[in-house]
Amino acid sequence: MSDATNTTPEAHDEATVTIVLTDRQRSLVLTALFEKERETNRYVESSRVSGEPGPMDTCCSAHYMRWQRNHEIFESMKDRQRAEEALIKLFEIEGE
- Give the type of residue at 19: I
Check residue 11 and give its pLDDT: 47
- The whole-angstrom separation of Cα 47 and Cα 37 is 15
pTM of this structure: 0.68
Would you kindly state where each structural domain of the chain is located, as residue ranges? 2-94
SS3 4: strand
Task: Give yes or no for residue 95 having a pLDDT over 70.
Answer: no
pLDDT in tens, 68-83: 999 999 999 999 999 9
Task: Give yes or no for residue 87 having a pLDDT over 70.
Answer: yes
Measuring CA to CA, which residue among 27, 15, 14 is closest to residue 91? 27
Query: Are 35 and 87 a contacting pair, CB within 8 Å?
Result: no
Query: Are 26 and 20 a contacting pair, CB within 8 Å?
Result: no
pLDDT in tens, 4-44: 444 445 545 678 888 888 889 989 999 999 999 999 999 88
